[in-house]
Amino acid sequence: MFTKVIFGRYVPIDSVIHRLDPRSKLVLSLYFIVLVFFANNWQSYAFLAATTLATILLTKVQLKFFWEGIRPLIFIIILTVLLQIVFSAGGTVYWHWGIFSITSMGLVNGVYVFMRFFLIICMSTVLTLTTPPLLIADAVESLMKPLLKIKVPVYEIALMLSIALRFIPTLMDETQKIMNAQRARGVNFSSGSLIKRVKSIVPILIPLFISAFNRAEDLATAMESRGYRGGDHRSKFRILKWRGADTIACVGMAAITAGLFLLRLL
């Protein structure tokens, strides 16, 4: 239950999108998210939806994984769309009650907002389903390198990120173990009043923190004994490689941009 992260987890299969450099995937998906806000009519939304669908198909990942990525956010999406519909005015009025009204403009706006959400989530899911978190961390490191000039400890941040990623499953396991140990002592996590349930979390958190600190101390010692001194006098085992496909992906994105701005004129 804890292991589901929003946007979905990496699916280790082979596809054109999987093989792209994480840097290009990261930058292009962020770029696409910005691009979505430039769509202003149904043609441009349809166009972006078509390109998103094409990308999703290229990942070869089953559609149900995308649905799983959207599901946790569905409530927020519906709420926003509803608010958008009942609060925006203009066009034909279909229904009206106090400050609330359903109008043709409201409906259109609602659909646009839904599309925006939907496209953004789909593209972010494409990124996380096709790129292991570690490579995303690598991409962040590589893209942040210019910040070294203003003394941002980029390498340290990247190492912290990768260690955090590495310890998430370990700590999840630990939480589960502690919960089981508490259950064996008669604690019930799933019933009782809200206050009671929140209270039952405290005896999970305290041992979890203690063990996390112990682990951190052990880890620091182990890193030191293996010669870690921080800074940039380190060689790198994992390297990122920009390939032809990445350039093609960028050109494709430029074409999509051009297409979108043409459709905006309609």
Residues of this chain that bind other proteins (CB under 8 A): 134, 162-163, 165-166, 169-170, 173, 214-215, 218-219, 221-229, 233-239
State which residue, 151 or 226, has the beta carbon closest to other proteins: 226
CA dist 56 and 67 (Å) reads: 12
Residue 103 three-state SS: strand
- Least distance from other proteins to the Cβ atom of residue 65, Å: 19
Question: How would you class 249 by CB atoms within 10 Å of its CB: exposed for 0-12, middle for 13-18, buried for 19 or more?
Answer: buried
Task: List the alpha helices (DSSP H) in 97-225.
Answer: 104-130, 133-144, 154-184, 194-225
State which residue, 38 or 228, has the beta carbon closest to other proteins: 228
Query: What would you measure as the largest C-alpha separation in the chain, in angstroms?
Result: 73
CA dist 94 and 96 (Å) reads: 7
- Least distance from other proteins to the Cβ atom of residue 174, Å: 10
Give φ, ψ of 103 to 5 degrees: -125, 165
- Least distance from other proteins to the Cβ atom of residue 181, Å: 18
State which residue, 74 or 219, has the beta carbon closest to other proteins: 219
- Least distance from other proteins to the Cβ atom of residue 199, Å: 30
Task: Report helix angle 74-87 to 104-130, nearest 10.
Answer: 160
CA dist 30 and 16 (Å) reads: 19
- Least distance from other proteins to the Cβ atom of residue 167, Å: 9
State which residue, 190 or 235, has the beta carbon closest to other proteins: 235
- Least distance from other proteins to the Cβ atom of residue 33, Å: 26
DSSP-assigned letter for residue 5: P
State which residue, 112 or 155, has the beta carbon closest to other proteins: 155
